[in-house]
Amino acid sequence: MSWLVAVLGLAFLVLIHEAGHFFTARALGMRPRRFYLGFPPAIAKVNRGGIEYGIGAVPLGGYVKIPGMHRPAPSDLDTYFTRAVHEAPELTGSVERMKRRLERGEYTAGVELDALGAGIKGVELTPAARRSAERGLSELRDGLGGDAYWRARTWKRVAVIFAGPGTNLVFAVALLAIVFAFGVRVATLSVSEVQPGSPAQLAGLQAGDRVVGVDGQRVTEFNQVFDAVQQSEGKPITLVVDRKGATRRIHVTPTHYLGQNWAVGFRPGARWERYSPGEAISLAFGRTWEVTKAIAHGFSRLVTQEGRRDISSPVGITRVSSQAVEVDFRVYLQLLAFISLSLALLNLLPLLPLDGGHIAFSIVEGIRRRGVSREVYERVSVVGIALVLMLFFIGLSNDLGGRGPG
């Protein structure tokens, strides 16, 4: 059951992300053609008001099809109509006239497109050629239509793309505020459990100890201990603990114990604490900013072996989420907020095909006052897709095979 809750939680984050794109596009005059959770092939779909809603068989995200993401190019006609022209040479004239129109920069759905559509209906084609040609007609109509994305002003294009990660960001803050208002599990400085075989056990830390200092600095909350362990980056630290009234110094070396970030292997005690609505909202913004800085620091460390060990795929995220569900549902909701924030920040990286890449290209086109060529866009996309896939497979390797050397 916990796995199901975890999977549904991740699906919900994808759903609200795509909904942000969808509703913003509609509000700004770009009527979406499709709204999918998951990627094709579709396992279920329905058409409402000219928009196809569906669930894809590949559960690696979702997408909204906005018309005319790119201005039509003459090469598009070769892509979609080459097979049809080969099977029905009488279509050659219509295809060439449409191609010349695009070469002249005439981006209107004129008589050439209507003639091409009528010609395709009137000839015998194999199913594959007809599917390709009909898809080409649909793409050309979308790309040449008045509601095409590429025709919109720069601020509208940026707004539509930012709305996805922006929705995840707003959801993260709102969910954290709700969690703080109903009560959160706050780690204390007491040691509730020392994990067998961990650096903490080998150094002599015991359940019941209370941490009062780290490396000569007094601590008053567990976050200070956690930060000191992370900042050590594997170098020895000294924990000052109170054990039944006696002060002891414990020298311990943090490691990537059990595939975590730097850790020494003990579980802190905890108490539940509730906050007023005003305090909850303030804390939600503060925690969001703290986690944002931590995630940004994590991105900067991806070039290091330690940084690559910290990458997780949806498999690992689902596993950790299911464990959080079993601990306490409020703990899970807090984790879900952090995952939503991570999804927002990841998508804002200036890499195609991520949202940040589309935003960057829209801004560049707005400054230049002309579109970036399709060839440049495709080359940059190849690099971005390669990097995203590399991160995915590193995370999958970490989750399935243990945290390797990176």
Question: What is the residue range of 54's domain?
Answer: 2-69
The CATH number of the domain holding residue 266 is 2.30.42.10
101 and 239, same domain (yes or no): no
The residue among 69, 162, 125, 93 whose CA lies nearest residue 354 is 162
Please check the confidence at residue 402 and state whether its pLDDT lies above 60. Answer: no
27 and 170, same domain (yes or no): no
Please check the confidence at residue 307 and state whether its pLDDT lies above 90. Answer: no
Q: What is the pLDDT of residues 146-188, one digit of tens each?
A: 899 999 999 999 999 999 999 999 999 999 999 999 988 888 9
Provide CB contacts within 8 A for 86, sequence distance 6+: 129
This prediction's pTM: 0.80
170 and 315, same domain (yes or no): yes
Please check the confidence at residue 15 and state whether its pLDDT lies above 90. Answer: yes
Report percent pLDDT > 70 for the chain. 95
pLDDT at site 109: 66
256 and 290, same domain (yes or no): no
Confidence at 406, pLDDT banded by 50, 70, 90: very low
69, 94, 122: which is the final residue of a domain? Answer: 69
Confidence at 364, pLDDT banded by 50, 70, 90: very high
Over range 283-294, report the average pLDDT.
90
Please check the confidence at residue 336 and state whether its pLDDT lies above 50. Answer: yes
Q: List C-alpha distances in Å: 159 to 21, 163, 406.
A: 9, 6, 37
240 and 379, same domain (yes or no): no
323 and 365, same domain (yes or no): yes
Provide CB contacts within 8 A for 91, sequence distance 6+: 81, 84, 85, 116, 119, 120, 123
Residues 358 and 397: their CA atoms lie apart, in Å, by 29
162 and 308, same domain (yes or no): yes
The residue among 79, 74, 72, 135 whose CA lies nearest residue 109 is 72
B/e letters for 376-393, b = 16+ CB within 10 Å, e = fewer, are ebeebeeebeeebeebee
Q: Count H helices, E strands: the chain?
A: 14, 8
55 and 129, same domain (yes or no): no
224, 256, 273: which is the final residue of a domain? Answer: 273
Q: Which of 131-140, 256-265, 317-326 has the lowest mean pLDDT?
A: 256-265
Pick the residue with more confidence: 166 or 267? 166
The residue among 337, 22, 19 whose CA lies nearest residue 174 is 337
170 and 196, same domain (yes or no): no
pLDDT at site 248: 93
pLDDT at site 260: 54
Residues 42 and 36: their CA atoms lie apart, in Å, by 9
Residues 49 and 118: their CA atoms lie apart, in Å, by 25
**Taking the CB of residue 228, how many other CB atoms lie within 10 A of it?**
20
Please check the confidence at residue 294 and state whether its pLDDT lies above 50. Answer: yes
90 and 168, same domain (yes or no): no
DSSP 237-270: EEEEEEETTEEEEEEE--B-GGG-SSB-SEEEEE
Q: Which of 157-166, 171-180, 370-379, 392-401 has the lowest mean pLDDT?
A: 392-401
Q: Which of 196-200, 314-318, 372-376, 382-386 has the lowest mean pLDDT?
A: 314-318
pLDDT at site 388: 82
Query: Which two tokens mark 99?
Result: 């191609």
pLDDT at site 404: 42
135 and 242, same domain (yes or no): no
Domains of the chain: total: 4
260 and 202, same domain (yes or no): yes
Query: Mean pLDDT score of the chain, rounded to an integer?
Result: 88
Q: What is the pLDDT of residues 184-228, one digit of tens each?
A: 888 899 999 999 988 999 999 999 999 999 998 999 999 899 989
